[in-house]
Amino acid sequence: MKIGIMSFAHLHAEAYIGNLRAIPGVEMIGIADEQLKRGKQFSKQFDARLYSSYEELLLEADAVLVCSENSRHRPLVEMAAAAGVHVLCEKPLATTAEDAEAMLAACKAAGVVLMTAFPMRFSAPLQQLKSELDSGSFGKPYCVSSVNQGRIPVDYRSWFVDPELAGGGALIDHVVHLADVMRWYFECEVTSVYAQANNLMYPDGVANDSRGIEIVYADEVAVETVGLVMLTFENGVFATIDCSWSKPLNYHTWGGLSFEMITEKGLITADAFSQNLSVHTEKPMGHNLAFWGSDANQAMIEEFVDSIRMNREPAVTALDGKIGLDITLAAYESVRTGMPVQL
């Protein structure tokens, strides 16, 4: 199976190259990027072929990973569908409900797989908890307090703080992961969303990078950097999500995803990134995490490949991506109105 990557705008593309190369029977054929400078940089860094255009890549690909800026997912997914090429699309699936619906329709009409990149479905600790919940050993779930915090992504890719390209800030960056995990856990839908958000963190566009050096990346941040979302589910469970970019840029990792769940049988704590070693060195800012456990990205991309090979729906569908987007858009509407939004 020949798979390529369309755009290197998203930082996850850097890991996906290694994931693709590790799958037997898969050939990572190369990358394409409308920004030639960016394409050349990553082509050289990863010793990967750089195609002259997306169209040239699609002529040789059986499947692609779309890793463009959020608002540019739709044209690339539609281009791939028109070429009969299967797609794994970065989250959020889109930035508008209209774009998400068009992407689903295009791939359905073309008969190609469209999978949303939700790697937390493939986190070993979170999968273990899903198994326990399904078995009934924890009893009925009551409520969840969750966090998916992180560093403001500007030192990775500046477009994350561009409202036109990203579609928003911390809300659209982080809400979809935990909203999807909880939909998966409870096997029911969100009925109500209430949210508050602001740009309390980094309001003047100034932060320190990983070396402690001050950087200025905007006159002011035009997107929210702090957010708290409350979800109510059909089964009566309510949950909170802290999606803030509240970690300093010199933090020892990008952030994390964890939660506490109160159930009939007691309190459950879970950390999707708990499989790590804390490494300290004598270098300035010499503290980082070395992950030793399972690779959720690897498992996610293997599932994408398997779904194509077996001609079946992937474990995480495009509809899952659209519903995650719907929840996030409802959060933005709640922030705007100050009222809960019913779904």
pLDDT computed for residue 211 by the predictor = 47
The 3-class SS string of the chain reads: CEEEEECCCCCCHHHHHHHHHCCCCCEEEEEECCCHHHHHHHHHHCCCCECCCHHHHHHHCCEEEECCCHHHHHHHHHHHHHCCCEEEECCCCCCCHHHHHHHHHHHHHHCCCEEECCHHHHCHHHHHHHHHHHHCCCCCEEEEEEECCEECHHHCCHHHHCHHHHCCCHHHHHHHHHHHHHHHHHCCCEEEEEEEEECCCCCCCEEECCCCCEEECCCCCCCCCEEEEEEEECCCCEEEEECCCCECCCCCCCECCEEEEEECCEEEEEECCCCEEEEECCCCCCEEEEECCCCHHHHHHHHHHHHHHCCCCCCCCHHHHHHHHHHHHHHHHHHHHCCCEEC
Q: Which domains does the chain have, with CATH numbers?
A: 2-112 (3.40.50.720), 120-295+316-342 (3.30.360.10)
The pLDDT-based confidence of 214 (bands split at 50, 70, 90) is very low
Q: Check if the beta carbon of residue 289 is closer than 8 Å to that of residue 277.
A: yes
Closest CA to 58 of 20, 93, 6: 6
| 296-309 and 13-21 helices, crossing angle to 10° | 60
β-bridge mates for residue 216, sequence order? 206
Burial of 303 (0-12, 13-18, 19+ CB in 10 A): middle
pLDDT computed for residue 100 by the predictor = 98
Q: Check if the beta carbon of residue 147 is closer than 8 Å to that of residue 259.
A: yes
Structure-block tokens of residue 7 = 């755009």
Residue 200 has pLDDT above 60, yes or no: yes
pLDDT tens-digit profile of 71-88? 999 999 999 999 999 999
User: What average pLDDT is seen over the chain?
Assistant: 91
pLDDT tens-digit profile of 112-136? 999 999 999 999 999 999 999 999 9
pLDDT computed for residue 231 by the predictor = 98
